[in-house]
């Protein structure tokens, strides 16, 4: 896969997340498609593509939802870096590893995003029930399992773009 594929994927995922998935609410929680794809790309495809996806997707979500520009992108970039580190430790992560990492990283992503929004937009830190965080993490991890399976199949079929090895 290449950078243009990551940018197009981020654009489509951000549009889908802010339009269709924003109406899908389970127990008051909404899934984070761009976040899930950034983790999947970091663990399956590569760090460069994951950073491009997280940056473009985060900026588009901010622009489409009216959040301060860069808030979501910053939170996603931090979590994408952590997931890349996890993938290095796991060597060749399987779909289950990606799902577990997404479940675990959903918590710091949501907390970091709320903290950034609290600082930049003056949004008060309202207490969010643990059940809402749990539902978000479960939805994200289920989406990550499916996305990782599909991404691994596509990556095996089409392979990566040849590049310079440093």
Question: What residue spans define the domains of the chain?
Answer: 3-158
Strand partners, 119: none
Predicted TM-score (pTM) of the model is 0.88
Cα angle vertex 37, ends 57, 70, to 5°? Answer: 25
Fold assignment, 3-158: Arp2/3 complex 21 kDa subunit ARPC3 (1.10.1760)
At 27, phi and psi to the nearest 5?
55, 35
Tokens at 81, concatenated: 């870096």
Digit-by-digit pLDDT tens for the chain (166 residues) are 578 888 999 999 999 999 988 887 777 778 899 999 999 999 988 899 999 999 999 999 999 998 899 999 999 999 999 999 998 888 777 888 999 999 999 999 998 998 898 888 777 666 677 888 899 999 999 999 999 999 888 877 877 655 555 5
Q: How far apart are CA 33 and CA 45, in angstroms?
A: 17
């Amino acid at each position: 896969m290449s950078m243009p594929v990551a940018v197009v994927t981020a654009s489509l995922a951000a549009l889908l997340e802010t339009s269709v998935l924003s109406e899908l609410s389970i127990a008051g929680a909404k899934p984070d498609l761009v976040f899930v794809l950034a983790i999947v790309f970091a663990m399956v495809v590569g760090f460069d593509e994951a950073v491009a996806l997280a940056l473009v997707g985060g900026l588009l979500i901010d622009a489409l939802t009216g959040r301060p520009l860069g808030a979501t992108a910053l939170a996603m970039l931090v979590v994408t870096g952590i997931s890349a580190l996890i993938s290095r430790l796991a060597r060749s992560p399987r779909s289950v590893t990606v799902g577990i990492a997404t479940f675990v990283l959903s918590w710091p992503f949501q907390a970091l995003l709320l903290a950034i929004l609290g600082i930049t937009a003056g949004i008060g830190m309202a207490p969010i029930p643990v059940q809402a965080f749990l539902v978000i993490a479960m939805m994200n991890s289920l989406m990550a399992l499916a996305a990782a399976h599909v991404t691994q199949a596509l990556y095996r079929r089409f392979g990566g773009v040849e590049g310079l090895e440093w």
